[in-house]
Amino acid sequence: MEKETITLLIGEAFKKIEFVKRYKLLSEKYNEDDYDILLSKVDKKIVLKILEDLGYNFMYSSISKDFIYKEQIEDFSFQLNLNFKNGICSQYIGVYYLGNYIDYVSSNWAFIYRKLVDDINASITSAKFTTYEELFAISKDILLIFSDFKNVFMKQVSETDLNPKEV
């Protein structure tokens, strides 16, 4: 499968799951303006437990301070990085084919949003949280988007009639 085809399928999957609508809703729903009340420091064990309770086995990177989830499906692997620094949730998604990273504008969800709305200056903010309950709810929404993306993407791949081993 050619890299360009995979990139197109990534974009189509984001569109089919209504990524723009869902990410904007998440951004608007958790948009605390008072930075003084944000949960500025999180306990990594609590966060790992929250993510486990949501059905995902994340690892913690002490270097990047990201919570990282990886999943292999056939020749594709998916990686979701979550960062909860200073009460702000940043998320990144990576799609790999046969071990090669497939770049779709960026792995950062804000940049993906801007590409899909075709406006590099579009205003979108990361979700913010003041409690672990909000962190749980934000993570749940992000994981639903991630899961839907993987499912739609893999369905598209199965319907694409190309040589599956070309990159």
Task: Give domain status of residue 29, yes or no.
Answer: yes
Task: Give domain status of residue 54, yes or no.
Answer: yes
Total tally of structural domains belonging to the chain? 1
pLDDT in tens, 14-34: 999 999 999 999 999 999 888
Task: Give domain status of residue 37, yes or no.
Answer: yes
pLDDT in tens, 107-118: 899 999 999 999
Q: pLDDT band for position 164 (50/70/90)?
A: low
CA dist 112 and 145 (Å) reads 13
Task: Give domain status of residue 164, yes or no.
Answer: no
Bridge partners, residue 15, by sequence: none
Can you give the residue range of the structural domain that contains 92? 3-159
Q: pLDDT band for position 166 (50/70/90)?
A: low
pLDDT of residue 84 exceeding 60, the answer is yes
Task: Give domain status of residue 80, yes or no.
Answer: yes
CA dist 27 and 160 (Å) reads 33
Long-range CB contacts (< 8 A, 24+ apart) of 19-25? 19/112, 19/113, 19/116, 19/145, 19/149, 20/113, 20/116, 20/117, 22/141, 22/145, 23/109, 23/112, 23/113, 23/124, 23/145, 24/113, 24/124
Identify which of 54, 51, 85, 55 has the alpha carbon closest to the alpha carbon of residue 68. Answer: 51
**pLDDT at residue 32, rounded to an integer:** 83
**pLDDT at residue 165, rounded to an integer:** 56
Task: Give domain status of residue 71, yes or no.
Answer: yes
Task: Give domain status of residue 166, yes or no.
Answer: no
What average pLDDT does the chain have? 92
pLDDT in tens, 36-65: 889 989 999 999 999 999 999 999 999 999
Q: pLDDT band for position 161 (50/70/90)?
A: low
